Structure 1
Amino acid sequence: MASNSGFSSGNGGIDCRNRPSPLVSFPDEPPARLVVDPPLPGPLAKGRVFIEYRTENLRVLPVFGEAAMHVSPRVGHVHVTVDDGPWHFVDASGQTIVIVGLSAGEHRVLVELADPIHGVMDRQVVSFRVPTEASAHLPEDISQRKG
Structure 2
Amino acid sequence: MTTLIKTLAAIAAGTVLITNAFAQDATPSARDIRGPTPYLAIENEPAPKLIVDPPLAEGLAIGVFWAQYRVENLRIAPVFGEGALQVSPRIGHLHVSVDDLPWWWADASDNNTVDIAGFAPGPHKVKIGLVDANHNPIPGQLVTVNFTVPDSAPKHAHPTN
TM-score, with length taken from structure 1: 0.80
State the match for 1:126 in structure 2: 145
Q: Secondary structure at 2:102's aligned position in 1?
A: coil
Greater C-alpha radius of gyration: 2
Looking at secondary structure, tell me which structure has more helix per residue. Answer: 2
- CA offset digits 1:108-143 (Å, max 9, x no partner): 00000000011111111100001111025x4xx249
- Aligned-pair distance for 1:22? 2.5
AA partner of residue 83 (structure 2) = A
Structure 2 match to 1:103: 120
Higher mean alpha-carbon deviation, 44-53 vs 77-86, is at 44-53
Question: Which whole-Å CA distance do the structure 2 matches of 1:49 and 1:36 have between them?
Answer: 12
Q: Which residue of 1 aligns with 2:13?
A: none
8 Å CA contact 2:124–2:147 kept in 1: the answer is yes
**Whole-angstrom distance in 2 between the partners of 1:46 and 1:17:** 36
For residue 30 of structure 1, give the secondary structure of its aligned residue in structure 2. Answer: coil
Partner of 2:154: 135
**Residue 9 of structure 1 aligns with which residue?**
none
Q: Deviations over 1:52-83 (max 9, x none)?
A: 11000000000100000000001000000100
TM-score normalised by the chain length of structure 2: 0.73
How far off is 1:16 after superposition? 4.0
Whether 1:54 aligns to 2:64 is no
d(CA) in 2 for partners of 1:35, 1:63: 21
Corresponding residue for residue 22 of structure 1: 37
CA–CA separation in structure 2 for the residues paired with 1:26 and 1:35: 21
> Could you tell me how far apart the structure 2 residues matched to 1:15 and 1:60 are?
21
Structure 1 letter corresponding to 2:154: S
Distance 1:142 1:38 in 2: 26
Identity of aligned residues (%): 41
Q: Is the partner of 1:69 in helix, strand or coil?
A: helix
Question: In structure 2, how many angstroms separate the alpha carbons of the residues matched to 1:52 and 1:17?
Answer: 20
Structure 1: 5+ residue stretches without partners: 1-11
Name the amino acid aligned to 2:123: E
Q: In structure 1, what is the Cα distance between the partners aligned to 2:37 and 2:103?
A: 32
